[in-house]
């Protein structure tokens, strides 16, 4: 994939980059992929987008996480789980439900932590 030459990424481009990164828990590989394909401004824009999507999940599902029966993960696990949903791409993100989050938590079907892909 060639480096994207425009300064501002569209939402579709950001979701496409997330998809092409093929998140599998290897945040160093994903960070490298983003670094090879984005300039610094775009990298920061993508990071902000991912954080916004994760924050949206926090807000939408926090009561379910903390409720009864809840979503059985720790605070750190909740961050990992919600970041995982974003890392799996737009379709997965758009289709996430409380039941899916509960099942992911129960099966430990998530990695630590897609957001590490943006750390220095």
Q: Are 90 and 15 in contact (CB under 8 A)?
A: yes
Question: What's the CA gap between 110 and 74, in Å, rounded?
Answer: 13
- Record the pTM: 0.92
For the chain, 120 residues long, give each residue's pLDDT as a single digit of tens: 444 556 789 999 999 999 999 999 999 999 999 999 999 999 999 999 999 999 999 999 999 999 999 999 999 999 999 999 999 999 999 999 999 999 999 999 999 999 999 997
Q: Say which residues have a Cβ less than 8 Å from residue 83's Cβ, sequence separation at least 6.
A: 50, 54, 113, 114, 115
Residue 60's nearest CA partner among 90, 30, 93, 84 is: 93
Q: Are 86 and 57 in contact (CB under 8 A)?
A: yes
């Amino acid at each position: 994939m060639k480096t994207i030459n425009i300064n501002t990424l569209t939402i579709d481009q950001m979701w496409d980059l997330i998809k092409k990164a093929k998140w599998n828990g290897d945040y160093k590989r994903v960070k490298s992929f983003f670094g090879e394909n984005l300039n610094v401004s775009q990298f920061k824009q993508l990071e902000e987008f991912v954080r916004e999507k994760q924050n949206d999940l926090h807000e939408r599902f926090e009561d379910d996480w903390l409720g009864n029966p809840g979503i059985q993960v720790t605070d750190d696990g909740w961050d990992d789980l919600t970041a995982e949903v974003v890392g799996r791409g737009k379709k997965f993100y758009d289709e996430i439900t409380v039941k899916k989050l509960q099942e992911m938590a129960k099966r430990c079907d998530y990695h630590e932590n897609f957001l590490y892909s943006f750390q220095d």
